[in-house]
């Protein structure tokens, strides 16, 4: 399983439990053997060179696909349920959430470029932004995706929301070396399309005060006014909406999986520390206050893990979007609370950079508000369900 373990012959069939375990074990060895030594000091940011080297190793073992279409890493498993991908991202995130997010973004870029019949050779240098400058498209986005109850002004609002401008730029996170940006927009006919833009043609500001994911960079795009894309998708409106829906769900699942892995890592740090730290002659995991914090963490981890595994055990479609968003709106609240509880379990030292706990808190907070806060997800769900009612 050290070469293309997730090649086309594996991905084209339904994987057995034993095959999933074998693939999972291989990725866990990669995470512990290759990633962990590079991030053992959380206060030291992983360099772009080391991130590139890890990507190359991920290509070699098949976690990330190469340019050939026969590759099948992460999100490129055809119509299969995404359970394996969710487990793999969680395994990587248990060691470093930033590396897991980088792998997810590369795999999602490759999936989208391939599905949209755009050049897949640009995947490794392609950043992705799926949402606009504020919120989650308000109540207009569910109406637009379902083609139900559309109101006057919905198209114009969504077009403005996606395109942004100097006064309302949009923000996205990506590897520092990206060269092209893949972004959805609404054309003059009101149809959803994806455009691929050259970084050189865009007005981009790198934000130095990003809250989380130190391994990556956060960028602010001033919109596309007067910018000509280098490629535009030409699929039908309905097909493009289906692909967009899948991409939103892949993002949501990935954010939950990565946050889950990060909190599992934080829980181990907290439980190991509380098992050796003494106060009043007794290890602190015997104190009720610490036990309560540890219990809350374990409860949140188990609850989110079970929900996420159940959610990713079935195939996704446009109709599952509301359910995925529902689980995400609840899960991120729980995981952020659990990350905070892990930091508190260690007392003052938990707030220090060298424990890694404060980084987990920052990363989870960043994921919680990316592509839809819990409140924005809830508003999306409410309109979606109203339309179905």
pLDDT, residue 9, reads 37
Q: What is the pLDDT of residues 253-275, one digit of tens each?
A: 999 999 999 999 999 999 999 99
Asked if the structure places residue 22 within a domain, the reply is yes
Structural domain for 79, as ranges? 8-117
Q: How many separate domains does the chain show? A: 3
pLDDT, residue 341, reads 97
Both 151 and 93 in a single domain?
Answer: no
CATH number, position 74: 1.10.540.10
Both 85 and 168 in a single domain?
Answer: no
Torsion of CA 43, 363, 54, 76, to 10 degrees: 180
Both 326 and 243 in a single domain?
Answer: yes
CATH number, position 347: 1.20.140.10
Strand order in the sheet with 192-198: 126-128, 180-186, 192-198, 231-232
pLDDT, residue 77, reads 66
Asked if the structure places residue 133 within a domain, the reply is no
Collapsed DSSP state (helix, strand, coil) of residue 356: coil
Q: What is the pLDDT of residues 18-44, one digit of tens each?
A: 777 888 889 999 999 999 999 999 889
Asked if the structure places residue 123 within a domain, the reply is no
Asked if the structure places residue 300 within a domain, the reply is yes
Q: Residue 65 in contact with residue 120, Cβ under 8 Å?
A: no
Both 229 and 270 in a single domain?
Answer: no
- Nearest partner of 320 among 145, 154, 112, 164, judged by Cα: 145
> Using the 8-state DSSP alphabet, how is residue 353 labeled?
G
Both 275 and 223 in a single domain?
Answer: no
Taking 70 as the pLDDT cut, the residues of the chain under it are 1-15, 66-73, 77-79
Asked if the structure places residue 360 within a domain, the reply is yes
Collapsed DSSP state (helix, strand, coil) of residue 383: helix
Q: Return phi, psi of residue 229, to 5°.
A: -70, 155
Core vs surface per residue 265-286: b (16+ CB within 10 A) or e: bbbebbbebbeeeeeeeeebbe
CA–CA gap between residue 323 and residue 69 (Å, rounded): 31
Both 248 and 341 in a single domain?
Answer: yes
Both 338 and 356 in a single domain?
Answer: yes
CA–CA gap between residue 1 and residue 6 (Å, rounded): 9
Distances (CA, A) of 95 to 92, 99, 128, 266: 6, 9, 24, 10
Both 348 and 246 in a single domain?
Answer: yes
End-to-end CA distance of the chain: 48
Q: List helix spans (H) across the chain.
A: 8-11, 17-30, 48-61, 83-93, 97-115, 140-146, 154-163, 237-274, 288-311, 321-345, 357-369, 374-388
Both 149 and 288 in a single domain?
Answer: no
Only one residue has tokens 């996704």, namely 316
Collapsed DSSP state (helix, strand, coil) of residue 177: coil
Asked if the structure places residue 2 within a domain, the reply is no
Q: Residue 235 in contact with residue 243, Cβ under 8 Å?
A: yes
pLDDT, residue 79, reads 62
Asked if the structure places residue 328 within a domain, the reply is yes
Q: Residue 350 in contact with residue 358, Cβ under 8 Å?
A: yes
Q: Return phi, psi of residue 207, to 5°.
A: -95, 120
- Nearest partner of 73 among 39, 26, 118, judged by Cα: 26
Only one residue has tokens 């959805």, namely 184
Last residue of a domain, one of 237, 262, 294: 237
Q: Residue 372 in contact with residue 131, Cβ under 8 Å?
A: yes
Both 322 and 200 in a single domain?
Answer: no
Both 271 and 200 in a single domain?
Answer: no
Asked if the structure places residue 149 within a domain, the reply is yes
Collapsed DSSP state (helix, strand, coil) of residue 169: coil
Q: What is the pLDDT of residues 279-294, one digit of tens each?
A: 989 999 999 999 999 9
Only one residue has tokens 């640009």, namely 122
Both 269 and 186 in a single domain?
Answer: no
Last residue of a domain, one of 222, 237, 252: 237
């Amino acid at each position: 399983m050290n070469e293309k373990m997730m090649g086309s012959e594996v991905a084209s069939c339904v994987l057995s439990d034993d095959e999933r375990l074998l693939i999972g074990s291989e990725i866990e060895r990669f995470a512990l053997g290759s990633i962990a030594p590079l991030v053992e000091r959380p206060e030291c940011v992983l360099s772009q060179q080391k991130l590139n080297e890890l990507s190359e190793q991920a290509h070699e073992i098949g976690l990330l696909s190469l340019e050939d279409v026969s590759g099948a890493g992460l999100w490129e498993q055809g119509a299969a349920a995404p359970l394996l991908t969710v487990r793999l991202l969680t395994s990587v995130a248990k060691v470093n959430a930033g590396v897991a997010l980088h792998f997810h973004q590369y795999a999602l870029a490759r999936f989208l470029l391939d599905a949209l019949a755009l050049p897949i050779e640009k995947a490794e240098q392609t950043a992705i932004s799926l949402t606009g400058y504020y919120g989650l498209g308000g109540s207009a986005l569910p109406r637009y995706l379902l083609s139900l109850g559309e109101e006057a002004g919905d198209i114009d609002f969504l077009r403005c929301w996606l395109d942004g401008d100097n006064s309302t730029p949009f923000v996205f996170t990506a590897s520092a070396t990206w060269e092209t940006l893949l972004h959805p927009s609404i054309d003059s006919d009101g149809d959803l399309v994806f455009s691929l833009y050259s970084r050189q043609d865009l007005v981009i500001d790198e934000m130095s005060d990003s809250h989380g994911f130190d391994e990556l960079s956060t960028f602010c795009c001033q919109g596309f006014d007067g910018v000509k894309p280098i490629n535009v998708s030409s699929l039908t409106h309905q097909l493009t909406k289906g692909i967009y829906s899948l991409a939103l769900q892949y993002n949501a699942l990935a954010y939950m999986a990565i946050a889950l892995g990060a909190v599992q890592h934080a829980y181990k740090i907290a439980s190991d520390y509380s098992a050796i730290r003494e106060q009043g002659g007794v290890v602190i995991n015997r104190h009720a206050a610490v036990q309560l914090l540890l219990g809350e963490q374990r409860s949140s981890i188990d609850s989110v893990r079970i929900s996420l595994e159940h959610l990713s055990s079935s195939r996704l479609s446009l109709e599952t979007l509301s359910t995925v968003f529902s689980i995400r709106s609840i899960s991120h609240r729980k995981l952020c609370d659990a990350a905070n509880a892990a930091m508190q379990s260690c007392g003052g030292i938990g707030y220090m950079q060298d424990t890694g706990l404060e980084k987990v808190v920052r990363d989870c907070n960043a994921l919680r508000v990316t592509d839809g806060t819990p409140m924005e997800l809830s508003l999306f769900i409410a309109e979606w369900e109203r339309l179905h009612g």
